[in-house]
Structure 1
Amino acid sequence: MLIDPNPEDTQLFLDALNDEKIANHVHTVSDGTEALDFLHQRGNHTDAPRPNLILLDVDLPEIDGYDLLEELTDDSELAEIPVIVLTDSSDAEAVARSYELHTNAFVQKPVDPDEFIDVVRSLKNFWLEIVWLPSDADDDQL
């Protein structure tokens, strides 16, 4: 699952996954409220699958990413889903706060599209090929 308010970054991420021939289905939302609706299977997302990995930009409208991380941490079922903060910020306080809220990784989004593709490739190699993700999630859901 990709939670990112920037449509250009979302498209760049999806294009990079496509270039890498990643078969996983990626669900995208653009704000914290919709993310929580998706994760709790409510509203327009009653049939939403449980993602096995969340990529999160913490700079979200409505409910910000840190509040979303707190809610994920407080929910025993959702707390099992690994979260990678993928954001424009490189602020040391943002990094520390993300890890305090049990983020599994903090990655700064590169500005250059080629570097962005390299980051996506690295995430794919580690999180989709090496790491074992929660077994009760569908194998093809992000």
Structure 2
Amino acid sequence: MIDTRLDFSGLQNLENELKLLTRAENDRVRRQGARAGAGVVRDEARRRAPKRSGKLARNIVAVTARVSEQSRATAGVRVRERGKGDDSSNAFYWRFVELGTSKMPPAPFIRPAFDATEQQAGDAAIAKILEALDKVLMK
């Protein structure tokens, strides 16, 4: 699986504002920001995915994991693979397309989508965090 992280360590003002929030609000704000960044990558991956039937693009989703003890929110892009092969929410073949097989050359779409939107994803995450902070702090 592709594992890439974005580092926002230079945002001291953002960190100070996050400290003002309660733990629950803080976690929610971080999750929203991570999800917004993953949504940008998801949209680009859907755009780049092969469109023979559209099933593969429909099954590219953004997911959010729990906030860890180090106060990090994690979100990512994955392809759903549940159910039987003919199930509409099963695009198990995505890895064959992305990585290729012995009889088919690779046609990557997820990694190029990340590479193309890395900066935009970071900007979207920061914008969403600032928007959520403003909303929480205005209460």
| Bigger radius of gyration | 2
TM-score (norm 1): 0.26
Give the structure with the higher percent strand: 1
